[in-house]
Structure 1
């Protein structure tokens, strides 16, 4: 019995240590590649064609409010690429009088409430006014850089079938917004930029993901409340050679600006992690069966728990090892220190605004809110738990602060 428990403890320790030390190893790889000049070249936009036979559908999913849609539509109408149509799905927006009289904008008002992002996307697809080769998914609070579709066109011209774009913060005016932005910068580095550097498939966000329309139609959903990105990436990564990342294609997302909004958002995210946990095993098993390191690595990281749970596990293992081995207890405290230091370095490396890095000293408050969110995950099975957004900013306002993020 003791031997079995010790074996289980060793396995758990190896898994937790792998996840927490992974960002440090990626930082080392990034540094070495930079020193040796081996980083992958950026896609240049200055020589891109402004018009292409490739047709894009920009799908905007709005729920209950259209207040933030005009700035996003405005940013899309200012694209330097011309072959696209914008589809605004106004779900449960019956009282909003917004209208559009523009040949590139289709405002769709479902007769019955959809109450799910997946259903809104399907509704848009079913109401395409023309065939589209590629669809791009936006939330209503997003903004797109003027080069956005132009860069995407080049990636699809290279043969990619699905491309995740670069999520950047639209607003960093409060402490929670900066902390939320810091988390995005960390994830951009570890799950996207470094995957690109290593020639591996990128994780996706629930927004700013572009893919061939035919590829999207191959995905079948059984659940509709949350987890859109969990399901879609687990399916398409098995269907295509590489899920690409385009750091040059920027989409700006509104960051939460208070603790209550953070709890609501993370409750939905944590619930989706557990609901779609099985898909990580499926991708991992598929990778092992096919002998694909790309798929196996992708699956391992789909199984990765939220960071605050990993840190809690590290402290728990340190406490347990006080009764087994003081050296191992010290090791776990060292792992925590190394992880936190790596997190700080990554944010410092990726940030555009100095305030994002300094906000990291308030991370304990952020973690506490996530713990409270964990205790509320059952609510996510009963409600859409939409995050309230209210920052009416136009693309010019954002570009004044961060014209082009470093990568």
Structure 2
């Protein structure tokens, strides 16, 4: 490696690490969003559940969703049924929830949400979006309503794992919590909008009707976040409002899921990067610039895995003239993730699970190589029914 190549690569990885470290430290100082609970300011919610071939999990999710500790006449659960079996649809209607059957040549969550826009009439004040495998805690609507009372128009709830039975699922759960610390707690502590995840999203009904029809990609959460950032709108984060989400249990599903995510990242970067000069220099949109930076930098697993490899090469004298630089970079990354990792994951079981990291790193590299262009095609990842795994928490 030439000296010039070394410094370019090292600077890029160092900036990516410092960016994460900033949010990791900031996340320590996060404070819960304000709430104002008032019986005369209770909104009527539409809970939307897009379900594409999710016969194995949608019934449990629908049954759980109608058990909110919130006035029954002030919320409706609407399942957007795409390619569900007829017997599943019939059973859904008996729960009872509303069922909106849809069919597309090329299915996507964005198309389902857009199709549901017509059902979200002025009778509703706010919309909740969850995935077909998600379980909302029973006070979800109550907490969301109280926070909307303070002026927020968009909220992101705390999505957390409902299954950690395999090493891959446990690592995926830890990754989710690190993301929550960095890009939700950390961003809010610095006065920036919370990042969206894709489910557990609460939106003002009028805003939903305005923005959802503009979604065009399979990365609907990133596209929606981009629109919100351009509108200079602040997304709040509800750390104490849980949505249980199924984590991938097998490495091959992990690769499939990450291929979709990386494809979306490539596509969003190609659309947001040209807008960066105007948003930052003309409008002073720091939040938008930060989001572009996040997409410019590598995913955490590639960052950590790549740094470990380069540090090992440096110690053999191959990857650069200054060995301590690589060691220092790796230690910064370890500190960043250690701060963001919740104490509940600091166990022997988790340490054993980290033995899977090298294999997942290789899966991530394969996902990166196959990701260009995948952001335009919906890649469905299968789910299993873990509805009883953590039901005591919701």
Place the TM-score, normalised by the shorter chain, in its bin.
0.7 to 0.9
1:301 corresponds in structure 2 to 294
Q: Kindly tell me: are residues 266 and 169 of structure 1, through their superposed partners in 2, closer, same or farther at Cα, counting changes over 3 Å?
A: same
TM-score scaled to structure 2, two decimals?
0.86
Query: Which residue matches 1:380?
Result: 374
CA contact (8 A) 1:283 1:295 kept: no
- Map of 1:237-276 to 2, 5 A cutoff? 237-276=229-268
User: Structure 1 residues 370 and 325, CA, compared in 2 at 3 Å: closer, same or farther?
Assistant: closer
| Structure-1 residue corresponding to 2:325 | 331
What residue number does 1:369 align with? 363
Aligned counterparts of 1:187 and 1:389: Cα–Cα separation in 2: 21
Q: Which stretch of structure 1 is more off in the superposition, 61-70 or 247-256?
A: 61-70
Q: Aligned-pair distance for 1:19?
A: 1.5
Shifted more, 96-105 versus 265-274: the winner is 96-105
Superposition deviation, residue 267 in structure 1? 1.0
My pick for the range that moved more, 286-295 or 82-91, is: 286-295
Q: Does residue 54 of structure 1 match 2:43?
A: yes
Corresponding residue number in structure 2 for 1:36: none
Instruction: Work out the CA distance in 2 between the residues paired with 1:96 and 1:378.
Output: 38
Deviation, structure 1 residue 293: 3.0
Which residue pairs with 1:23 in the alignment? 20
Q: Tell me: higher relative CO, structure 1 or 2? Use CA pairs within 8 A at least 6 residues apart.
A: 2
Distance 2:60 2:38 in 1: 25
SS at match of 2:61: helix
Quote how far apart the aligned CAs of 1:383 are. 4.7
Question: Structure 1 residue 174 and structure 2 residue 166: aligned?
Answer: yes
Unpaired runs of at least 5, structure 2: none
Q: 1:368 to 1:325 in 2, by over 3 A?
A: closer
Distance 1:382 1:21, change over 3 A: closer
Q: 1:31-71: CA deviations, max 9, x gaps? A: 5x4xxxxx524657xx8456744221111010123331222
Work out the CA distance in 2 between the residues paired with 1:363 and 1:353: 16
Q: How many residues matched? A: 386
TM-score, normalised to structure 1, is: 0.83
Gaps of 5+ in 1: 34-38
Query: Displacement of 1:312 after TM fit?
Result: 5.6
Measure the CA separation in 2 of the matches of 1:294 and 1:250.
Answer: 25
Equivalent residues in 2 for 1:24-173 (5 A)? 24-30=21-27, 33=29, 39-41=30-32, 48-49=37-38, 52-82=41-71, 83-99=74-90, 100-101=92-93, 105-110=97-102, 112=104, 115-128=107-120, 131-173=123-165
Counterpart Cα distance in 1 of 2:102 and 2:210: 23
Deviation of 1:373 (Å): 1.9
